[in-house]
Amino acid sequence: MPAAIYPGSFDPFTNGHLSLIQRGLQMFDRLIVAILVNPKKTPLFSIEERREMIQGAVKDPRIEIDSFQGLLVEYAKKKKVSVVLRGLRAVSDFEYEFQLANMNRKLQPDIETVFMMTGEDYFYVSSNLVREVASLGGNVKGLVPQNVLTKLKAKYSGG
């Protein structure tokens, strides 16, 4: 399959995201990792910081890192890509992802969402939880790439 868009907040980028990208690249020739710009949320890391994190963690020429605002289906149309890649961790992800995939299909019937299951090592890893644990001084080593770990430490030690 030629290309897919892997959209997300990636705030921060975790080993769960990384695992999905690595496995996605076995299915697709090219992946566009698309950072969602959400003006309603105050992120921990800026778009530029997140872009650098992903760049530092994924060294593969088949990856394009981009950002987008607004409707994913419009972005996909603009990029001329008709497949969206998403991850499923637990049943709790299912309901939201199911709604999202169907809404996107309603908006743009020729865009298909493909799901990959998380690896058993990362099924409990979310950006949310990583942020929370790191902010409380917990060690998230092994759950995020080394460059992200360094960034998190700097953020929470006031550096």
User: Site residues (CB under 6 A) for ligand ADP?
Assistant: 8-10, 14, 16-17, 20, 86-87, 89, 93, 118, 122, 125-128
Closer CB to ligand ADP, 128 or 139, in the complex: 128
Q: Catalytic pick from 41, 62, 92, 135?
A: 41
How distant is the alpha carbon of residue 114 from its chain centre?
Answer: 14
Active site residue 106: no
Minimum CB separation from ligand ADP for residue 65, in Å? 13
Closer CB to ligand ADP, 49 or 93, in the complex: 93
Which residue, among 39, 13, 5, 15, has the nearest Cα to 114 in the 3D structure?
A: 5
Q: How far apart are CA 54 and CA 21, in angstroms?
A: 11
φ/ψ bin of 137: left (φ > 0), alpha (ψ from -120 to 50), beta (otherwise): left
Q: In degrees rounded to 5, what are phi and psi of residue 55?
A: -60, -40
Minimum CB separation from ligand ADP for residue 84, in Å? 9
Active site residue 127: yes
Q: Catalytic pick from 23, 77, 79, 89?
A: 89
